Amino acid sequence: MPDWNTRLEVKLGDKTISPITSFSPTFTLNHTVIHSLEADNVGVVRQPMTFTFTMAVPANAIAVADLVELALTGGEFQVAVAESIGTDWAFKAMKFQRCMVTSATPSNVVTDGVPQANFTCMALSVSIEE
C-alpha cells in the first residue's frame, strides 16, 4: 500500500491557513436539448460548468475566523493538494482557485476530538498539473 503523504489545504495567497479534513466536490454540467418544428433532438446547447464543494476544517484555529471573514467580504481563497514527502500522489499539483464561501456551519462542541466547521463553497477556476 502506498504511503499517502498528501492532504488538501486551504490557502490564502501562498500561506496555508488550514488542512481540510473532509472534502465533497460536485461538478454540474448542464445541457439543453434543442428541438425544431421538423425534428426532435437536433442539437444541444452546453451551459457553463459549475463547481461547488463542501469542506470541513478543524475548528480549533484562526482559519475558521479567516474563512468566515472571507464569506462576509466575498473574498477568495484556494484549495490545493500539498505533498509532504514522496511522489506517491497522482498529480504534482491540483488547485481549486478563486474559491468563495457561500455558507458556513459551525459544529457542535465535542467532548473528544477536534470540532469541525463546515463550509459550502464554489470555485471559479480549477487546474491540474500532472
Helices (H) and strands (E) in the chain, counts: 1, 9
Report whether pLDDT(90) > 50. Answer: yes
Weakest mean pLDDT among 44-53, 71-80, 109-118: 109-118
* pLDDT score, position 1: 45
* pLDDT score, position 101: 93
The domain defined by 6-129 folds into Pnp Oxidase; Chain A (2.30.110)
Structure confidence by residue, pLDDT tens digits, 54-80: 998 888 778 888 888 888 999 999 888
Of all residues in the chain, what percent carry a pLDDT higher than 90?
Answer: 24
Classify burial at 3, counting beta carbons within 10 Å of its beta carbon; exposed 0-12, middle 13-18, buried 19 or more.
Answer: exposed
Given CA atoms 90, 128, 123, 82 in this order, what sign does their dihedral have?
positive
The residue extents of the domains of the chain are 6-129
